[in-house]
Structures are given as structure tokens and as C-alpha cells.
Amino acid sequence: MVYETGNRTIDDAVERVLAGERLDRRDGLALMAQPVEELAAGADYVRSQLGDDTVDACSIVNAKAGNCAEDCGFCAQSVHFDTGIETYGFLDPEEILEAAKRAERDGAQRFGIVVAEKGVSKKQRPEEWQEVLRAIRLVRDETDVEVDASLGILTREEAEILADEGINHYNHNIETSPNFFPEIVDTHSFEDRVETLELAKDVGMDLCAGVILGMGESPTDRVDAAIALQDIGVSSLPVNILNPVAGTALGDELGDSADITTPEIIKTIAVYRLLHPEARVRLTGGREVNLDTDEQHLPFEAGADGILTGDYLTTGGQSPGDDIEVMEEAGMEPNMEANEFDKAAVKARTGEDPAEADDVETAAGTATSNAELDD
């Protein structure tokens, strides 16, 4: 053992992970109880030994916004909640291509086409399905980014078609543990989500599936979610932190703050790294509102090595240049394996408001709703 924190529980876990052993639920619960500084150091060491000191960036487009029939308690796009967001049908594929090109220029390695509904249905909405495929083909053929998709629950036929079209990662978050999931969603089950992930994996797509922290779940739920993702087998694990939206069930329950502290966020990232040593542990939505500016580097010093850059589905993010500065503060560099972008040009736009830029838009400002919420 080359590296030691002096904490026997953490040091034993690090040694076992680096020897190729898979940690289990008992390990995860024991690690979650350890001091945050030592836990972060051990997880970061594992990342440094198994990774390449780069942060992989993805960007998304909200390709179809609002009017979703599902009742996910965190989601501003559910028809069950009055949140005042902009709604629209599936975007013109050319608009999606333009968003992908901007994402590529701003350093994204992968680009996700996302819709707000239970599932894009080839059978029920064949014209929309064809537009989805056309958008995938445009991005695949006219950019160098990997094309990902988050299209809800799939049939096997749909999954096979998406794999044939070159979808790299299929995103379908499990959101939380199997035990806590019914507290958040009534209109579909945890098992429904797992079934789609298994279908996507079975036909050859890699999996991007993760969680939302701070919805009222316990530390045990956070571990149980990570164990469920172990069983599924993911290569990208997005970690969202709840940004409560007024009008949603969780927004009304929790107010404007997620139910989680900064040390708990860092602990969870570190435990996820140790339970998923080979995956990209990706910091995604809600980080800007739940972590102070001078704290945003901490997850990348606790095992994180991925990021969702730009805007989210209905809320704004920070600029890709800001994200690069966060990476560098943690001693890491952007991944350029798929996209050798101009890092200096991206950083030069740090802090700009995309809406006020005269001739430059970030990947963030394209095709997301970014609507002002009603008070």
C-alpha cells in the first residue's frame, strides 16, 4: 500500500479497490460514517490511480419541454405541478444540431438529447420518433462529440434502433434508492427504470444513470442507490443535488434548499467513487446553488471526474469557462479525447451571461427552457 490516510476503514477499502475487489453495501455504510477529509483523500487517491486526471464534460439539450404526465416530485416539467416553465414540443433537429455544435466548441465530450416525458414512443408518436432519429443522425454525422440520449422508458425495439443509430450512453437516472423511490414518484416504479436500463445495456449501449441528493433521503438510501447502480452496471454516474423549484412537491416541502450539507455531498461523492472505481462520477445539476463558489472544486478532490457543463433542463448553469477553472483548481484538466477544443477561448468567456453575449453563445444557452418561474 503506497498511500494511507491513517484511517483503517478507509485504507482497507482503498487497498481492496485497487486490488480489483468490489466493495459491498456493508462497506459503503461503514465508509459513509468516516470523517469527510480522510474519506475524500482516499477516494481521490483511487481516482488518481485508476483514472487519467481529466474531467469528462457532457452537455444536454432540452429537446422537448414540459407537459410530462409523470409526477416526479422534483421535476418542474411535470404536468402535475404549476411551475410556470416554458413548454414546447420536440425541437427542429437542426436546432438540436446547433446546440451540439456549441457544446462541442465549449468542450463537451458528449452531448445528450433529452425529452421530458415517460418515453418517446415509436408506436404512439411515429412522426416524433422519426424526428428524434434525424436529430441523432445530424449530431452523429456533423460533430465529433459522442451522442447520448435520455428519452425515457424504452421498448426493446426502440432500444435496438437507438443502439444501431450510434447512441453512446443511454441516460435514465434511478434518482434514489429502491426504498425511497416511492416517496418521490407514484406514476411509475423503480423497477420500470431498471428494466429500461437493462434493455439499453443488453442491446449494446453504455449506461449513464445516477441520483439526486437532498430530497429527504437518508445516508443509507444514498448507499443503497449506489449499490443498485453497481448491480445494473454503469459507466457514467451523474450526481445531481436538488435545486428545489417552487410549485413542485419537493419545492413546496423543502423551500429553496436541498436537504443535504456540503460535507454530506462530499462524503457521498467519495463513497460513490469507491463503490464505482471505474465509472465517471459526474457532478451535474444543482451544484452551483448548493456549493459556494470556493467549494465547487471539493467534489473533484473527492473522486469526481465528470461534469455536466452549461445549462440544465429548466434552470441555468454556469459557463463552461467557469467549469474549466473549477477543474484546474482541483488539479485536473478537461478531457480532450473526443474533442480537442480551444480551452483558452472557452476560459476567455468565463463569467459571461450567454444572453448578453453579442456573437458567442455557450452550449448552455441553447434550446433549454430557462424560463422564469412564477413566484
> For 306-338, what is each residue's pLDDT tens digit?
999 887 787 777 888 889 999 999 999 999 888
User: What letters, b where the CB count within 10 A reaches 16 and e where it falls short, cover 82-91?
Assistant: ebebeeeebb
| Res 351: pLDDT | 57
Average pLDDT over residues 42-56: 95
Q: What is the pLDDT of residues 200-222, one digit of tens each?
A: 999 999 999 999 999 999 999 99
pLDDT for 186: 92
% pLDDT > 70, the chain: 93
Could you state, in order of their start, the residue ranges of all structural domains in the chain? 55-349
160: left (phi over 0), alpha (psi -120 to 50) or beta: alpha
Binding site members for [4Fe-4S] cluster: 68, 72, 75
The answer to whether the beta carbons of residues 115 and 63 sit under 8 Å apart is yes
When mean pLDDT is compared across 121-125, 270-274, 361-365, the lowest value belongs to 361-365
Residue type, 25: R
Q: Per-residue pLDDT for 375 more than 60?
A: no
| pLDDT tens per residue, range 135-178 | 999 999 999 999 999 999 999 999 999 999 999 999 999 999 99
pLDDT tens by residue, 351-363: 555 444 433 343 4
What per-residue confidence (pLDDT) applies to 172?
95
Predicted pLDDT of residue 235: 96
Q: What percent of the chain has pLDDT over 90?
A: 66
Provide the mean pLDDT of the chain: 88
Q: Tell me how far CA of residue 43 lies from CA of 7, 165, 291, 298, 338, in angstroms.
A: 13, 36, 19, 12, 26
Which conformational region is residue 175 in: left (phi greater than 0), alpha (psi within -120 to 50 degrees), or beta?
Answer: left
Q: Give the mean model confidence (pLDDT) for residues 118-132.
A: 88
288: pLDDT strictly greater than 50: yes
Which numeric CATH code is attached to 55-349? 3.20.20.70
Q: Is the pLDDT of residue 50 over 60?
A: yes
Residue 293 to residue 147: CA distance in whole angstroms: 30
Q: What is the pLDDT of residue 2?
A: 53
pLDDT of residue 28: 98
**pLDDT for position 350:** 66
pTM greater than 0.85 (yes/no): yes
- Could you tell me which residue, 195 or 336, shows the higher pLDDT? 195
Task: Give the residue numbers of the binding site for [2Fe-2S] cluster.
Answer: 208, 282
Helix, coil or strand: residue 340: coil
Binding residues: 68, 72, 75, 208, 282
